[in-house]
Every structure is written in C-alpha cells, then in structure tokens.
Structure 1
Amino acid sequence: MLEVLKNQRIKVIAVGDYYVSPETMVKAVEQSPLNVSEMITCFWGDDDQQAFAARQINVERNGPEAEAYAEGIDEEIVDADVLITHFSPVPRSLIEKGKNLKAILTCRGGLEHICVEAASERNIPVVNVIRNAEPVADFALGMILALTRNIAVSHCGMMQGEWMKDFPNSAFTTTLSRLTVGLAGVGNIGMELAIRLKALGVTLIAHDEYTTQERLAKNGLGDMRLVSSLEELFREADVVSLHLRLTEENLKVINRNYFSLMKPTAYFINTARGGLVNQEDLIQALKDKTIAGAALDVYDAEPLAADSELRKLDNVLLTPHIAGQTVDAIPNSPFMLMKEVGKIIKDGIADRIVNNHALEKEVL
C-alpha cells in the first residue's frame, strides 16, 4: 500500500477550500512522516460560504464529474506522487493524468468527490478520515432525547408564553432505557452512537451488511443484535437512526415502504444525508401520524425552503445541518489524516484505506 512512501522523496499536491485551507494542509504534512521534496498548493471552490455549499451539495449528489476540480492541477498532477484534498473533486480524468500517483488522501469521511473506481483500477489507495464521528454521534443522541422527551418543542412553547403539559406523544413518552434504538449503518458514527446509547442502558439493534458481531464485540457491543434487513430494523425499533452512506443505488431508499413498517409510537432520526430519504414520503408519514415524529439535520435540498411543509409540522425537530460542526472537527481533519497515514506507513495498519470498491465498509 503506502510502504513505498517510507523512504522515497515525493511530490505532494494539496488542494484546500473554504473550510480547510491549503496552509493548514501544508502544516499537517510538515508534521507527518512523508518525505516531501516538493509541495504544490491549490484552492478549490469559492470564498463565499453559500456558493461553496451549493457546489459541495452538487458533488455529493452527482459525483466527482459534477464540478470542475481546482485550477492549476492539470500540469502538476503528471509527476505528483500524492494528492491531498478536502472537497475538491478527483474525477477519473484527473486520476488518469497522474501517471506517477501513489495515493489519494482526503480530509473527510465521504468519498462522493473521488472516483474510487478509477483509483482502484490503478491500485492507488484512497485514504480518508472520519473527522466528525464523535460530534455527529453526540448530536444524534441529543436529537433522540430532545424529540422523545419534547425538550425542543416545550422550549419553543415557553418562549411563546405557553406552559405546555400535553404533547402528541404524551400517551407513550417513556425513559430512554425502555426504548429499542435501531441503527441503520454501524460505521464510525453509528458505532460511536451505539457506545453512548449502551452506556445509558438502551436496547440496541442494527443492520449493516459490512459489519460483524465480532467487530461489535471488539467495541464493547457484543450484546447488540444485528438484524437481517432494514425492513426488520424499521419494524422493531422505537427509534431509527440513519447512518448510511449516500450512493446512486440508495438515493431516496428510505421511503413510504419503510415508514409504513414503523410503529405509530416510533421516531426517525437523520443526521446522515438528506438524499437517503424520500422527503415527501416522510412528510406524509408525519402528517398522517404513521410515525410519532422525526428529527432531521439534513434535507433533500439545502438550505431548507422557507415554505417547506416540514416547517408546518408539530412532530418534527429541525436543525440546519450542524451535527458535525464543532470548533475542532474540520480544522483538525488534515492532522487526523496525517496521523492515519503515519500509522499506515509505520505499522501497515489500514483502518481508513478504501480500495477495490470497499467504500461502504469504511464510511457508512
């Protein structure tokens, strides 16, 4: 894999953007074991946050070909050994120009911006880092508590002068330890959430085609039951928390069929990707009280429209895609990435190498 980089002097291209600057990437590389002979920096995207967000969403939804990559790479990639990016697209055409490319590194967990297929064909390892697993897990736990115990809605009522005692879910409000939480996906974020929930005495079930009971046991979750299908998960859980990776194959996969399986006392949480859910089907389920409620941090279009039907519902908790935003998660991501690279070079341990199309296993 990356053993070839141990002693060889290499040329590195670092592509920063609005959130992760090229200068931060340079500092991280300087603290890494990479033996750099030449460092080229580029900038991708816009200095305007909203414009950058629009391009980011386009790439997440439509892949690395959806937006042009950073200017200035074409000439430099020809003899580069390592390409480091945060969100700049890495399409097939760019990978094919990198005749000497030995690794592609990215400061985030999602790989929608990289043509992993083209990298795998060339046997070029792609290394990513799950920078915000803990912040998102914390946030998802907070959403579960706020939704099931009416914390958010009662706060809004208090601010409007109301003293609320009755809620749509009053007949079945209970303690967290009496609930069964179902995790759709047990990658890094799902695993962190499971660890937190177990500490609170919650019964856990999960569906993940790429994990095993042995992996769960190594993380202290040997008693968490893996169910055979998403259908079974949605049918059994009192709370379903979504932690899947968005692909072309699972776009809007969570639809009315799944919501119809849920108990009328059950809740749906999404801190993963808005594109995983058929939003209209979810809105209808909430309107019809097919499910008790939902908490959403992500949407099929962002920012959420001012006239969205979601804003008119009394059984939904909405936040503006902030689950992963802490003061340290994104700025520290290049350093986390270089720490991962250092582990691979030193010990050959590849927790975050994605190759041969094993994306789901690594970044669910």
Structure 2
Amino acid sequence: MNVLITGYFNETSKERVTGAFPESWTIAIVEPQHIDAFIGEADVLIPEHIQVDDVLLGKAHRLKFVQTGAGYDNVDIEACTARGVWVSNAAGVNANAVAEHIMAFVLSYYKNIPFLDGALKDGADETQLDYAGGELLGKTIGTIGFGAIGSRVAELARAFKMNVLAYDTNKNIKSDDVELVDLDTLIANSDVIAINIFLNESTRNMVDKAFLRKMKKNALLVNTARGPLVSEVDLIDALKNNVIGGACLDVFTVEPLSEDSELRRLSNVILTPHTAGMPDGYKFHETRYRFFVDNISRVGRDDKPLNCLNKV
C-alpha cells in the first residue's frame, strides 16, 4: 500500500507518523508543492494544504482512497466519486483533544497566562504587574456547532459552572444540558464564542464585520475549526478597535500563518499553529492515525471505509 501524506512536518513528526503505519506499507510525507512527483504512485492520499480536485485526480492514476481529518472542504467529493475514489473523514476522532484545546485557550485568556509568563521570564517584578484577569464561573460560552466537539466543550464548560448556549443547523438535536438557541441569540449573549462547524460555501467568512459587531464588547472568539470561517481582515480590525475583547486562534486563512500577519502582534490574541487536534505531539495523534490505518486497511480489502463521504 502506497500512502501519500501532504503537509508541513518536521523530522520528528515524520518519524512518528511513519511509525504509525504497518512496516510493509510505503509512506511518503511531502510538502504540498512537491505532490506532482508522488501522486501518480499513490494508492491512498491524506491531504493537508492542497486541493483534491479534478486536475489533481487526473494525475493520480492508482488512487483508491482519500482520507482526511475532521474537515474535508479541500476535497471535491463528486470528482472523486466520478473516478471511483473513496473519500472519508475522521470526524469525532479528535473531538476531545480539540475541546480540551478550546478550554485551554479560554483559561489562558481569562487568566492572562501568556502575559504573566512572558513578563516574569523577562524579569518583571510580580508585585508591580498591572493586568486584568477573570473567572469562568457564571460566564456564558456559546458553541456554534453541537456535534462531537461542541457537545464535549459543553461538558467541560459545565464543570467550570459556565452557562452553555448552542446553535446547530441540525434541528433534530436535543439536549437537556444546554440551551439550544438561534445564531443571533448566541452571538449577543455569549462571553465566549467557540466555532465548531465545517467549512463550506455557506459558512465561509461567516464571522464577518456584521457578526463581530453583534458580539459583546468584551467577548472572546475561539476558532479551532477552519481559518476561512472567519474574515481575518474584519477580525483584525475588530481586535484593534476594541469591537470585541479578544481572540484565540488555532487556524488561519492561509497556513502556515504569515510571519508579517498582524495577528502575531496583537496583545489580545493567543495563537497556536493548527495543533488543537494533535495532543500527542506536533502533527501527531495516535488515535487519529490508528483510525487512518484501520480505514485504509478496509479499502485494501475492498470494503467500504468508515465515515464514507461519497454520495452514492
């Protein structure tokens, strides 16, 4: 089995990822710009930072299966289906990891951990530090999306005695533990808004200038889902002009995040490099890769993969 993985990995990450697969499989981990040299021999593609479209598929002469993480907005499922290529995602596999990352963001922001850590390491006198902090007790967190990640966020937030609002387009969702509301109600009443939905054309740039103006002045926006769900230009403007309190971001419109991005210089922003779903080390999550191996093995046996996305 020839498995091609695209993305940006350091050497340690490559070793860990490669070691997660059977020794008899051939694993190639390449940066996106080098995919053309490898795609023709790949039986399986695990794509990051590339578009799996008809042009790429035309070069993938042996491809049987495209396995993504939770998101699959970079894969043309119809084009894959037309060429007899299975597509699956790993929705839910890293739900707890992402939910914990969201809560770590929220705690770091309200407890001012990055500022205090940096100040003390720079030699500041802790008796003279001027900073604001807060408690989660009694605050309201709103999750946009109430699937595996959103529901786990709700569980963790309730442990801190937070109020939880949830919005989801699936109107069949029921819960006795959170208040299900419409989107505008969630935006207006949440101290923290966590985005936990998939990216598609209806959700692209969902968080725009109008959305941000509906938020509380001191509210926190958390995005660990997909960068293009948020209009980065509008968010930066809102952060610079105190339209909202702050933002915690694990994903960005363009990744890796540009070195000259204004987000890197804003004091009311906490950033991580798209690692929310990788708790076992940079670019690695053992449970996720175990799922990948099991699903690829199913395809190798000519079985239908789990979490199949093909519309047939």
Q: Which category of TM-score, normalised to the shorter sequence, fits these structures?
A: 0.7 to 0.9
Question: Aligned match of 2:236 in 273, 283, 294?
Answer: 283
How big is each residue's C-alpha offset from its partner over 1:21-62, in whole Å with a ceiling of 9 and x where there is no partner? 89657519x8xxxxxxxx7x463633xxxxx5xx59xxxxxx
Contact (CA 8 Å) 1:119, 1:125: kept in 2 or not? yes
Q: Equivalents in 1 of 2:261, 2:246: separation in Å? A: 16
Distance in 2 separating the partners of 1:93 and 1:321: 27
Report whether the alignment pairs 1:43 with 2:11.
Answer: no
| Partner secondary structure for residue 14 of structure 1 | strand
User: Which residue number corresponds to residue 152 of structure 2?
Assistant: 192
Partner of 1:9: none
One-letter identity of the residue aligned with 1:313: L
Matched, 1:316 2:269: yes
2 CA distance for matches of 1:310 and 1:90? 29
- Tell me whether 1:72 sits opposite 2:40 in the alignment: yes
1:301 equivalenced with 2:250 (yes/no): no
* Number of the residue aligned with 2:67: 106
The offset of 1:340, in angstroms, is 5.6
Counterpart in 1 of 2:161? Answer: 201
Partner of 1:176: 136
Q: When the two structures are aligned, how many residues end up with a matched partner? A: 298
Q: What is the 5 A alignment of 1:79-118? A: 83-87=43-47, 90-92=52-54, 104-118=65-79
- Aligned-pair identity (%): 27
Cα shift at 1:183: 0.8
The secondary structure found in structure 2 opposite 1:268 is strand
Separation (CA, whole Å) in 1 of partners of 2:298 and 2:159: 30
Match of 1:34 in 2: none
Distance in 2 (CA, whole Å) between partners of 1:320 and 1:312 is 15
Q: Would you say the 8 A contact 1:86–1:107 is kept in 2?
A: yes
Q: How far apart are 1:107 and its partner, in Å?
A: 4.9
RMSD (Å) for aligned C-alpha atoms = 3.8
Call closer, same or farther: CA 1:335–1:157 in 2, change over 3 Å.
Answer: same
Corresponding position: 1:136 with 2:98: yes
Amino acid at match of 1:70: F
Residue in 2 aligned with 1:270?
223
Matches within 5 A, 1:214-293: 214=174, 217=175, 222-229=176-183, 231-293=184-246
Q: Distance in 1 between matches of 2:216 and 2:104?
A: 22
For residues 7-22 of structure 1, the aligned pairs below 5 Å read 13-17=2-6
* CA distance in structure 1 between the aligned counterparts of 2:246 and 2:18, rounded to whole angstroms: 44
What is the CA distance between 1:266 and its match in structure 2?
1.2
**One-letter amino acid matched to 1:86:** I
Q: Which moved more, 1:268-277 or 1:117-126?
A: 117-126
When residues 355 and 191 of structure 1 are mapped into structure 2, their CA distance, relative to the original with a 3 A threshold, is: farther
Matched residue SS, 2:221: strand
Give the TM-score taking structure 2 as reference length: 0.77
Alignment correspondent of 1:355: 310
Unaligned stretches of 5+ residues in structure 1? 1-11, 31-38, 47-51, 57-66, 77-82, 358-364
Deviation string, structure 1 residues 224-272 (Cα, Å, up to 9, x no partner): 122222x332111110011222234433221111110011121111222
Determine the structure 1 residue equivalent to 2:110: 148
Greater CA drift, 177-186 or 334-343? 334-343
Confirm or deny: 8 A CA contact 1:128 1:353 kept in the other structure: yes
Task: State the Cα distance separating 1:116 from its structure 2 match.
Answer: 0.9
Closer, same or farther: CA 291–99 of 1 in aligned 2, 3 Å: closer
Computing the radius of gyration from Cα coordinates, the structure with the larger value is 1
SS in 2 for 1:177: coil
Find the aligned partners of 1:280 and 1:113 in 2 and give their Cα distance.
22
Q: Which consecutive unaligned segments of at least 5 residues does structure 2 have? A: none
1:317-358 Cα offsets, whole Å, 9 max, x none, are 2233332333367363332134467899xxx9986222339x
* Closer/same/farther in 2, CA of residues 89 and 279 from structure 1, 3 Å limit: closer
Q: Is the 8 Å Cα contact of residues 204 and 225 (structure 1) preserved in structure 2? A: yes
Partners of 1:282 and 1:261 lie apart in 2 by 13
**One-letter code aligned to 2:151:** M
Q: 1: CA distance between counterparts of 2:306 and 2:185?
A: 30
In 2, the alpha carbon distance for the partners of 1:291 and 1:95 equals 43
